[in-house]
Amino acid sequence: MKAILLILCILCVSNTFATAQEDTLYVSDFHTIHIRFDSELAYVNLGDNILVARIVDADKEFLAVKAKERFDFTTSIFCIEEDGDIHSFPVRYSERPAMRIVDTREQLPDLLPESFTGENKHNKTTTFETIKNDSFYSLNKELYHIGCYGYGISITCDNIFYRNDSLYIIMQITNKSAVSYHFSEPRFTIESKKKSKRNLEYEKNLIPHKIFGEGDVQPDETVKIIACLDKITLLKSQVFRIYYYETDGPRNFILTISMNDISKAKRL
C-alpha cells in the first residue's frame, strides 16, 4: 500500500513539473527581459551563472533577466510563485530577443479593456465614455518632439498632464504599412538614462491604473492610446520609457520621455 502511495506521489510531482514547462526564453547581454507572473515570486533558481536576475522591487511579480555575456547552450530558470504555481523556462541566447516582456498568466487580460465604443468584448459597460467626453480627451496636440518611427509605423506622445494627482499620457499610433500592427500591453518603466552593457541599472516598472484605446492598428489607420498612472518624479539621471511590443512580430518601439517633459506637465 505504501509503495502504491509513493508511486502516486511521484506521478503527481512529475505531472506538476511537466505542466510547468514554458516555451524557450531568449535573453540578451544588452536588453533586459521581464517575466510577469500572476502572484509575487517566492523562489527563483538560475540554471547557470551566465545569467543574472532580480525580482523587481516595486512589483514582485516581475522578474528581470539578463545574460552576462553571449552563450551557445541551453540553460534554465526555475520559479515558484507564492500561490504555488511552478514555472521552468529553457533559456537560450539571442542578440535581439523578439519578446522582451513575457506574461506567464494563463488568462491574459484584454490589452485595452475599454475600447472607443465604451464596451469591452464581454459587452460590459466601461468608464471610457466618461473619459472620451471629458474635456482633456479632445486636447490639441501640444508635444512634437517625442516619438519613434520605423517599419511604416509612427508612435508619438501628444500630451502629458496631471489630473487629480494622476498622470495622463496621450499617445498616437499611425500605421502607414501594408499590414496591421497588433501590439501587446505597453510596458511603462523608470530607468537610468545611461545603460551599462554588463550590469542591470536602475529600473522600476509602473503599472497603469487604466489604458484606453485599441491594440490593433489597421493599414492607413490612426488610433489614440491614453494611459493613466500614479504621479511620478524623475531624477536627472532617469528617463520614463514606454515599450510597445508587436505580437509575434519584430516591430517593437520605445518612447522616451525626459524629466523636463514630466515636470512641465500641466494640470487640468
149 pLDDT more than 90: yes
pLDDT tens digits along 47-61:
889 999 988 866 678
pLDDT mean across residues, the chain? 77
* pLDDT level of residue 175 (50, 70, 90 thresholds): very high
Residue 218 has pLDDT above 60, yes or no: yes
Indicate the pLDDT class of residue 242, thresholds 50, 70 and 90: very high
Phi-psi region for residue 217, left (φ > 0), alpha (ψ -120 to 50) or beta? beta
Domains recognised in the chain with CATH numbers:
2-103 (2.60.40.1550), 128-267 (2.60.40.1150)
